[in-house]
Amino acid sequence: MELFVFVCATAMIIVGALGVVLRKHPVHAALSLVLTLFGIAVLFVAQHAEFLAAVQVIVYAGAIVVLFLFVIMLLGVDQVENLKTEPLAGQRWVAGVVGVSLLGLLAAAIYTGADSVLSRGEGIASNVAGDNPDANIQQLATSIFSDYVVAFEVTSILLVVAVVGTVLLSRRRTAGKP
């Protein structure tokens, strides 16, 4: 069963990711990104991270991609990009070499190092086997609001700074003021 879920989600993720890179139209790329994000959410559920799957769908698919689509529509940059011409000579070739070597490096690291990662940290243990989804949320909440409460507060400051900065950045300048 998990194999079936994994194969389906993998197909969604890979097709969506290739769609982001290869589709000419930015709107199509954004919709392919939604496919990838849903695939990741499916894999989160398969790995008993139910809360993160919900947050993934709400924040990524619901907020971030919608923001992308808003900006695409707002700026009218939804013209088809010509993927045939290469702006910099040899760029595709170098990118292919970089991609293949990066993939080889990561695969080598995974095959040699994945089994050596065995020591647990000092965090709260998650007994994922046969747990109900509520336990995941409770463990995550206990971890965030006890071990990482300072980081959580700093994160809220970061969000406020980001919102204020964006409002300042994208504000239309009036004629009199600089």
Span 104-123, contacts to other proteins by CB under 8 A? 106-107, 110-111, 114, 117-121, 123
Span 61-90, contacts to other proteins by CB under 8 A? 63-64, 67-68, 71-72, 74-77, 79, 81, 87-88
Give the DSSP H or E segment for 67.
helix 65-75
6, 54, 57, 133: which one binds other proteins (CB under 8 A): 6
96, 132, 134, 153: which one binds other proteins (CB under 8 A): 96
Q: Residue 12 interacts with other proteins (CB under 8 A)?
A: no
Q: CA torsion angle for 42, 48, 52, 56 (degrees, to 10)? A: 0
Closer of 151 and 175 to other proteins (Cβ): 151
Alpha carbons 54 and 38: distance in angstroms, whole number? 10
Alpha carbons 163 and 142: distance in angstroms, whole number? 28
Alpha carbons 44 and 66: distance in angstroms, whole number? 22
Span 29-68, contacts to other proteins by CB under 8 A? 29-30, 33, 36-37, 40, 43-44, 47-49, 51-52, 55-56, 59-60, 63-64, 67-68
Q: Residue 150 interacts with other proteins (CB under 8 A)?
A: no
Q: Residue 162 interacts with other proteins (CB under 8 A)?
A: yes
Closer of 127 and 176 to other proteins (Cβ): 127
Q: Residue 151 interacts with other proteins (CB under 8 A)?
A: yes
Instruction: Please write down the long-range contacts of 32-41, taking CB distance under 8 Å and 24 or more positions apart.
Output: 33/65, 33/68, 34/61, 34/65, 36/12, 37/61, 37/65, 38/12, 39/9, 39/10, 39/11, 39/12, 39/13, 40/9, 40/13
Q: How far is the CB of 77 from other proteins (least distance, A)?
A: 7
